[in-house]
């Protein structure tokens, strides 16, 4: 009788495990591209329900950016954020940490290590960050490392000025765009030390390189493309011309690009055009209409989350499936567009 009971219990536990696995497999990977007015705050929710926030926006503004992040977290059904990854220590990326930790429980902070920029304002922002994360778990990452988030792969591409040296799975081909690419200047700021990540869910791939600048971007694209192709690309550095060399962007062959620009920050015409002309690109989506650009270098209004400078901070939401298909939803209009897996 006892053996029969154990066998039934084992089968029940196995079935429960299979049911859980099946439920997780049917859930999408979600991204919330939060409008922090030209900074970055990208909330990632895995199919297992674990969460990763990449950057926290600006400080001040009566907690505006932290409030917008919390609104996205609540919509995602989160009671805490498991990981907060800080790409680098510029104010529009790290500044919101003190206000964020006052509003929601955070598990582990992830970064590239100490500030490496000789700048008074950056030193001050790094000091405020250190103070805010005291008592939290804290991990320093290196290129090639992976964050332990169940169901997805979050691989570090760059950190502290270093980058992966071996090609990712399926990558490593010679990059024909490198020959025509102008040389890039050395950048001594924290931008060049950005933590960049590739997030993979089945056949879906998303790339976020923070504010990495051209010289460092080219090191991972030339002479061989170490990253391969991606489905969704967060345009580097808010769409600034200091970043986004053609040899990288075109080699990535993104299907869709998202620009986390502000009304008057990022989405420069030159970088926007490079992304727009990338082979195989279907759409550009923007968090803001770029007021200092022109109509020809802004995407269609239905693919812009905030069309007015004084806005409510609407976000873009992406749900990605394991087969590589994904949907982009405009938080302002609730309209959505579905993208099939690339051939």
Question: pLDDT for 252-303, tens place per residue?
Answer: 999 999 999 999 999 999 999 999 999 999 999 999 999 999 999 999 999 9
Number of structural domains in the chain: 1
Work out the pLDDT band at 99, boundaries 50, 70, 90.
Answer: very high
pLDDT, tens only, 178-229: 999 999 999 999 999 999 999 999 999 999 999 999 999 999 999 999 999 9
**154: Cα within 13 Å, side-chain hemisphere:** 24
For strands 304-306 and 336-339, give the pairing: unpaired
113 backbone φψ class: left, alpha, beta (φ>0; ψ -120 to 50): left
Question: Per the domain annotation, does 305 fall within a domain?
Answer: yes
Question: Per the domain annotation, does 340 fall within a domain?
Answer: no
Distances 132 to 70, 101, 109, 137 between C-alpha atoms, Å = 17, 7, 10, 12
**Is residue 35 pLDDT above 50, yes or no?**
yes
CATH number of the domain residue 187 falls in: 3.60.15.10
**Domain ranges, residue 51:** 27-335
Q: Indicate the pTM of the whole model.
A: 0.92
Question: Per the domain annotation, does 230 fall within a domain?
Answer: yes
Q: Using the 8-state DSSP alphabet, how is residue 71 labeled? A: H
Tokens, residue 11: 């089968």
Question: Per the domain annotation, does 295 fall within a domain?
Answer: yes
- Lowest pLDDT segment from 16-25, 179-188, 205-214, 237-246: 16-25
């Amino acid at each position: 009788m006892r053996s029969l009971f154990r066998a039934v219990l084992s089968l029940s536990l196995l079935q429960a495990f299979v049911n859980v696995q099946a439920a997780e497999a049917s859930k999408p990977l979600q991204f919330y591209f939060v409008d922090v007015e030209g900074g970055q705050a990208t909330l990632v929710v895995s199919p297992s329900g674990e969460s990763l926030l990449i950057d926290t926006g600006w400080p001040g503004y009566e907690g505006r950016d932290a409030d917008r992040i919390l609104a996205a977290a609540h919509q995602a059904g989160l009671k805490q954020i498991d990981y907060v990854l800080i790409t680098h220590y510029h104010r529009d990326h790290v500044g919101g940490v003190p206000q964020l930790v006052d509003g929601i429980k955070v598990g582990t902070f992830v970064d590239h290590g100490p500030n490496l920029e000789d700048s008074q304002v950056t030193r001050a922002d790094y000091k405020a960050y250190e103070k805010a994360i005291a008592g939290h778990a804290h991990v320093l990452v290196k290129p090639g490392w992976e964050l332990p988030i169940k169901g997805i792969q979050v691989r570090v591409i760059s950190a502290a000025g270093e980058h992966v040296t071996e090609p990712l799975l399926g990558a490593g081909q010679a990059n024909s765009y490198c020959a025509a690419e102008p040389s890039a200047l050395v950048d001594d700021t924290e931008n060049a030390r950005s933590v960049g990540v590739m997030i993979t869910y089945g056949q879906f791939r998303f790339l976020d390189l923070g504010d990495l600048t051209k010289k460092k971007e080219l090191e991972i694209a030339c002479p061989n493309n170490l990253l391969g192709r991606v489905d969704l690309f967060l345009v580097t550095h808010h769409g600034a011309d200091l970043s986004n060399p053609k040899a990288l962007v075109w080699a990535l062959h993104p299907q869709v690009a998202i620009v986390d620009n502000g009304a008057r920050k990022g989405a420069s015409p030159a970088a926007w055009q490079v992304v727009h002309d990338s082979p195989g690109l279907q759409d550009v989506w923007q968090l803001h209409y770029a007021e200092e650009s022109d109509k020809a270098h802004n995407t269609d209004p239905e693919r812009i989350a905030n069309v007015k400078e004084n806005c409510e901070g609407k976000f873009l939401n992406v749900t990605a499936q394991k087969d590589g298909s994904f949907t982009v939803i405009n938080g302002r209009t609730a309209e959505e567009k579905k993208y099939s897996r690339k051939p």
